[in-house]
């Protein structure tokens, strides 16, 4: 394989980007443009090809360890790539949802408000209170659904989340939490503490409105 220096100037990633724009570059060329140069014995194009493969394989789960396993990639180059990812995530991705108050949750759980069975939903969030994933954990009977901490937190841990929000609907239309709701919330909150996860809120939704445990002072 030719090195960057062996290529005509107009074909080199950074020069090509200047002339045609970033969208004209392949994945490998984009990585090469970020890195700039390789290391002694490992050309940047060789590194870029392997890194691009890792990006396609791991996507959002790409980690420092994945990159540093590539020959020629030390902390500095791995940090360049992950930093570029994080900047794009913060400022370019349009579907990021940040939760500040209970009402921010409502559009995410509007689909369960009118259900005839009780749905229990868990929303995982990162350290900036941005939504990582929303999951239906259980679907119960008419007026109750059994919820176990293991089922609630298994995927949340895999998300590497920092916090969670719980939500469930009341098919009866009653907004106030039942005794069973309060016991369930206490159990899940204690499990979250053990796992180092903050419970930001627990929201009950019906067609009539919503009830927020946080607004009611029930979140400790």
pLDDT number for residue 47: 92
Mean predicted lDDT score pLDDT of the chain: 87
Q: Which of 91, 119, 150 is the last residue of a domain?
A: 91
Tens-place pLDDT, residues 136-151 = 999 886 556 678 899 9
Based on the structure, what is the number of domains in the chain? Answer: 2
Judged against a pLDDT cut of 70, whether residue 104 lies above it is answered with yes
- In this structure, are residues 204 and 171 in contact, taking their beta carbons and an 8 Å threshold? no
Q: Is the pLDDT of residue 167 over 80?
A: yes
List pLDDT tens digits, range 111-130. 999 999 999 999 999 988 99
Domain match, 166 and 65 both: no
Strands 131-139 and 119-125, sheet pairing: antiparallel
Answer yes or no: do 200 and 159 share one domain: yes
**Same domain? 53 vs 131:** no
Q: Lowest-confidence range among 19-23, 40-44, 94-98, 203-207?
A: 94-98
Residue 7 DSSP code: S
Q: Does any domain span residue 83?
A: yes
Rounded Cα distance, 218 and 110, in Å: 22
Cβ atoms of 199 and 161 within 8 Å: the answer is no
Domain that holds residue 151: 102-212
Q: Is 56 in the same domain as 85? A: yes
With residues binned 3-state (H G I as helix, E B as strand, rest as coil), the percentages for the chain, rounded to 5, are: 45, 20, 35
Report pLDDT for 94: 52
137 and 86 belong to one structural domain: no
| Residue 182: pLDDT band with limits 50, 70, 90 | very high
Q: Judge if 85 and 106 occupy the same domain.
A: no
Among 34, 63, 91, which residue terminates a domain? 91
């Amino acid at each position: 394989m030719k090195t960057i220096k062996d290529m005509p100037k107009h074909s080199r990633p950074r020069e090509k980007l200047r002339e045609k724009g970033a969208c004209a570059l392949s994945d490998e060329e984009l990585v090469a443009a970020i890195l700039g140069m390789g290391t002694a014995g490992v050309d940047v194009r060789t590194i870029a090809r392997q890194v691009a493969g890792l990006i396609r394989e791991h996507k959002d789960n790409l980690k420092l360890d994945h990159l540093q396993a590539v020959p020629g990639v030390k902390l500095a180059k791995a940090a360049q790539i992950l930093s570029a990812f994080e900047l794009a995530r913060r400022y370019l991705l349009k579907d990021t949802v940040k939760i500040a108050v209970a009402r921010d949750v409502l559009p995410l759980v509007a689909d369960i408000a009118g259900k005839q069975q009780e749905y229990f939903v868990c929303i995982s969030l990162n350290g900036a209170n941005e939504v990582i994933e929303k999951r239906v954990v259980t679907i119960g009977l008419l007026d109750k659904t059994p919820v176990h901490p293991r089922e609630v937190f298994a995927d949340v841990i895999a998300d590497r989340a920092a916090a969670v929000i719980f939500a469930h609907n009341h098919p009866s239309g009653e907004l106030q939490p039942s005794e069973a709701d309060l016991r369930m919330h206490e159990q899940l909150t204690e499990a979250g503490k053990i796992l180092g996860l903050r419970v930001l809120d627990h929201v009950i939704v019906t067609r009539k409105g919503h009830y927020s445990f946080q607004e009611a002072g029930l979140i400790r």
